[in-house]
A and B are shown apart, each in its own frame.
Chain A
Amino acid sequence: MIAVAERTFAILALVAIVIAVGTTVALVRRRVPDWLQAAALPTATAIAAVATGGSLLLSEVAGYTPCTLCWYQRIAMYPLVIVLGVAAARGDREVWRITVPLTAIGSVIAVWHITIENNPALGGACDPVAPCSLIWVEEFGFLTLPTMALIGFLAITVLSLAARTR
């Protein structure tokens, strides 16, 4: 069951990559279609909700103990569900002012976490309970948990900015 959940989250991360790339192209070309602008905040909310639900499932059901860096990423990700959810319901297109600082912090931590996963010596010794260098999940050869978190943060960033565009 956990293997299925891991694979499902990985597939959703691939979908999030497609969404993030497509939205980034639209932002760079300064041509954000109306449908994307309308869908941006609900989609960003869904990404934050899946990331939050996924992290809780893997820690509380699968028993993957979150390390310190996991917790810092959680602190950045979890509030986004509420912030983006309320913004989507109210049509608040200025919510990027709150979400982008959170996603920026989360992205920096996720990048450092990925670096430690690939260079365990940088992470120092292994805490027996929850070492940050331990790779719990690796799907398709590259999708680890901080990698999926980074994809989520980046997708939410560009979607928040797409919602802002007039």
Chain B
Amino acid sequence: MSSNASNRKARAKADREAREAEKRAQQRRQRLLLAGVGVLVLGLAVVIGVLSAGESSQAPDIPTVDEVAGDPTIDGEDLSPAPQDPGDDPDIGAPAPVVDGQDFDDTPVTIGEPGQPQLIAFMASWCPACGEELPHVVDWLEAGNLPDDVELVSVATSHDRTRPNWPPQDWYAEVGFTDPIIVDDADSSVARAYGLTATPYWVAVDGDGQVASRLTGIIGQDQMSALADQVSGT
């Protein structure tokens, strides 16, 4: 009697163990299947990626930063980094650094020199905010808003070949900007000398070659007019 009972217990235990083993084996199969599906999806994605991106990765010959960058000479003391609040700017009234540079066609352009008031717009072609601002600048200029005695000069700066809208001369041409441009060097020395912290960056220089105002970010046409009026007639 007790022998039969112990046999039943042993069989039940063996059945339980067999079921658990089967469950574990099923889980292992599920994991293997899942891993296989994962590897398959990854492999397919890589293959499709290679096939479909193959052509687009053939980059055309685009100029290097050194080929685009200018070679400006800078005379004068660097301005401090532009503060977030223009009202706290310690460099208002300070002499602007005088920069002798060239545009993309090697035509000489100068900024900061006493004589003619200037609005200087620092732009980076890859910067989406500059991409939004420059067309407004072009419209503002075409509407004749720039006073006759004020010159607007853009500084093409922060060159980066790996970023969108390279090279910058194509971007300026596409937007239709035809006013003078100074091409910064590869180290953005002009931007640093003028205290650029972000783009777009505006510096108004009066007729005495002194900083009248510095603004960072998209300023819009009303502020462009206000900056120009501030230095006009000085």
The residues of A with any CB-CB pair to B shorter than 8 Å are 1-8, 10-12, 15, 35, 38-39, 42-43, 46, 50, 63-64, 117, 120-121, 123-128, 131, 133-136
Contact = CB atoms under 8 A, between A and B. Distances in A.
A69 B199 CA distance: 18
Nearest to B124: A126
B50 A4 contact: yes
Given A38-B30, A127-B198, A3 B53 contact: yes
A123 B45 contact: no
A42 B36 CA distance: 12
B199 A125 contact: yes
Given A3-B56, A134-B127, 9 more contacts: A3-B53, A4-B49, A42-B34, A46-B38, A124-B218, A125-B199, A128-B188, A134-B126, A134-B164
A136 B160 CA distance: 12
16 contacts: A2-B57, A4-B50, A4-B53, A12-B41, A15-B41, A42-B34, A46-B38, A117-B128, A126-B130, A126-B200, A128-B158, A128-B188, A133-B127, A134-B126, A134-B128, A136-B163
Interface residue tally on B, bucketed by range: 35 or more
Nearest to A42: B34
Contacts of B53: 3-4, 6-8
A42 B48 CA distance: 24
B128 A123 contact: yes
A161 to B, nearest CB: 19
Contacts of A133: 127-129
Nearest to A38: B30
Given A3-B53, A8-B46, A15-B45, A128 B132 contact: no
Contact of B162 (A42, A63, A123): A63
A135 to B, nearest CB: 7
Contact of A124 (B41, B42, B57, B129): B129
A125 B158 contact: no
A50 B196 CA distance: 37
Contacts of B217: 124-125
Nearest to B217: A125
Interface string B181-221: 00000001001000011111100000000000000111000
Contacts of A131: 127-129, 198
B126 A8 contact: no
Contacts of B129: 120-121, 123-126, 131, 133
B4 interface: no
B36 to A, nearest CB: 12
A43 B163 CA distance: 33
Interface in B9-55: 30-31, 34-35, 38, 41-42, 45-46, 48-50, 52-54
A3 B46 CA distance: 11
B128 A42 contact: no
Contacts of B132: 120-121
A2 B162 CA distance: 12
